[in-house]
Structure formats: C-alpha cells, structure tokens
Amino acid sequence: MTDKPILITGLSGFIAKQCALELLKHGYSVRGTVRRMAKADEARATLAKYCDTTKLTAVEADLLSDAGWADAMEGVGGVLHVASPFPTGEPKDPDELLRPAVDGTLRVLRAAVAAGVPRVVQTSSMVAVIGGHQHKRTKPFDEDDWTDADAPGITAYYRSKTLAEKAARDFVSTTGTSLHFSTVNPGFVLGPVLDNDIGTSAEVIQMLLRGKYPGTPRIHFAVVDVRDVAKMHRLALESAEPSGGRYVAVSEALRFLDIALPIRRELGRAARKVPSRELPDFLIRLIALFDPTARTILPDLGFKFRVDNSRTRRALKMEFIPVAESAPAMASSLIQLSLV
C-alpha cells in the first residue's frame, strides 16, 4: 500500500465509484478525474453515504485532450484507468467509441510514464476476450484469449475495448518503461448501483424490471459483481505478480434467463414484470429491425460459452459473488433509488 493518492479516471462512472469506495475503505487517498467538476461533487455526495471521503479529491481531465493530465498524475502512487464509453446501442460513428477508448488510454499511459507513476491498472472487458468466436468455440475462454476485432458482426464497442487493451500492452512492451501494468477484464457487471448515474448493465436490468421485453434473448453472459470488480482493481494494484497480468473478472457464464430468474425469485412482486422465459431467435431478429439495443446482440444469439479464469482466481485469491446474489442486488438497488 502507498501513502500517495491513487488516480481513478472517470470517477463518476458506475465501476469507478465502486473502485473509489473500495480504495477509500482500505485507507487509500483517491484522486478522481472528471470532465467537469459538477460530476465530482455528485460522486463525492454519493460516496459520502458509504464511507469517509476526506481523502477524496478530483481534477478535470478529458480522454480526448492532453489538458489536465500532467496535473492529474502529479505525485500519484498508481492509476486505475477505468474511464471508457459503454453504449447500449451501436453508434453511427465508431470513432465515438474508438477515439476515447484507444487514444484516451494511450494519453493516460503517456502521462503516467512522464510523471513516473509506478503502476497502472486498466479496466478492459470480457468483450476483448470472447468476440469473433461465435458458434465454433468449444473450449472455455481464459486469460490468453483475444477477440477477433475484424470478425464479421463485431460491434464498435467490442472493437474499442479490444484495440484499447492491445494498444496499452503494445505501448508498455515497446517503450521500455518500468511501469507495472495489468488489466481487469469484467464480464457483464451486476451488483448494487450507488446513485442515479447508472451504467449500461444496470440499464439492462432496469429494462427487465420495467417489462420492456416479454422474454430474454437466447444469449449467454459472463457475469461479475461490481464489488468484485472493484476489489480486483485494488488487488491488481497491490499484487506482487509480474507486470502484464490479465485478470478475468467473471463469477460464472450463464444464460440471460439465469440472470432474470433470481431477480424474480428474490424480489417477488417488485419483479413481476421480469420475464421468466426465453424468446425464439426469429423474434429477436424481428425486434432488432426496430430496436438498436436488440440489434447489437444478434451475433451472439445461440452462442453458449464457458470461462476458465482459474489463473485469475489463484493469482488474486478471488472468490466471486454468485449471480444469485449479484443480480437481485442490482435490481433491488434500482428499486430503492426509484429508477424503475
């Protein structure tokens, strides 16, 4: 543990706030970046409900600009690079995702190296691991697997996370820096939301609670609780493992329906609109003609996969919160915050 502050990029985000909470509860000082200071005030007000925020500060910095990053990095003991866009639909211009994801990651890394920051943990994703292998993959995915960013049907989001992680790893390996670098690759992130600024995964659960669809599509998710994701960021920051670690944040891989059913079971009447059956693929394709969110999942229909992250579990000594707890926790928090 260092007595220097840890910089968290994109402090106001769903995962970033949980990372800040995790670090603050373990005695760290935290400095967060925001695009405008009003977001910092909102994040501080949220975190103050759960922990002491006297060691929390914020600075303005944008992934698309060099301004502010030198000041943000000054005197920090490590960086959690969490900030990256995550849309529910496919953008008209892929650069809306690619530029902040790839260019922003390299901007953060260059600033960290220039400031002599010893450690950076990047929030990558399971979409940088499993994409482009639909319907032909039989063995479990693990820490060595990569998405084929040029495969047919790969969305801009899959490309952005894959190319951002590869760009970061190439930068670290070719610049001769002593920077200790690792990534945390979360699956579909469940668990409690802390305030009204929810992430895309929570919007999916929100749609289930509102009964937007009569059933779930026949797709699989690698899922994880946001509290485990935050814990893994801290453990990666503290780890004695060699630089270059890739930590797969997944509790289990299962059907979308297996996320919905625990919510119905645990929340009872409050979850009465949550579907209890799967929809046939042809109906999803029909819905996708009018629904951009449904359109993004078409390549994944019927793709059943497994994940083996035993190396991650051993390296970080992780025991994951199961979906039977994490899915109802997210749904319950959305209801408590009157977001349904």
Q: Give the strand pairing for 180-186 and 245-249.
A: parallel
Closest CA to 193 of 5, 21, 316, 40: 21
Q: Is residue 317 assigned to a domain? A: yes
Sign of CA dihedral 97, 286, 300, 277: positive
- The model carries a pTM of 0.93
Q: Is residue 1 assigned to a domain? A: no
Q: Is residue 57 assigned to a domain? A: yes
Kindly report the CATH number assigned to the domain that includes residue 133. 3.40.50.720
Contact 50, 126 (CB under 8 A): no
Q: Is residue 298 assigned to a domain? A: yes
Q: Give the full edge-to-edge strand order of the sheet including 188-190.
A: 188-190, 220-225, 252-255
pLDDT 10s per residue in the chain (340 long)? 678 999 999 999 999 999 999 999 999 999 999 999 989 999 999 999 999 999 999 999 998 899 999 999 999 999 999 987 554 445 555 566 677 788 899 999 999 999 999 999 999 999 999 988 867 778 999 999 999 988 887 888 888 899 999 999 999 999 888 999 999 999 999 999 999 988 889 999 999 999 988 999 999 999 999 999 999 999 999 999 999 999 999 999 999 999 999 999 999 999 999 999 999 999 999 988 988 878 878 878 888 899 999 999 999 999 999 999 999 999 999 999 999 9
Closest CA to 182 of 248, 110, 253: 248
Tell me how many domains the chain contains.
Answer: 1
Q: Is residue 96 assigned to a domain? A: yes
Give me the domain span that covers residue 29: 6-336
Q: Is residue 212 assigned to a domain? A: yes
Q: Is residue 200 assigned to a domain? A: yes
User: Which amino acid is located at 273 in the chain?
Assistant: K
Q: Is residue 305 assigned to a domain? A: yes
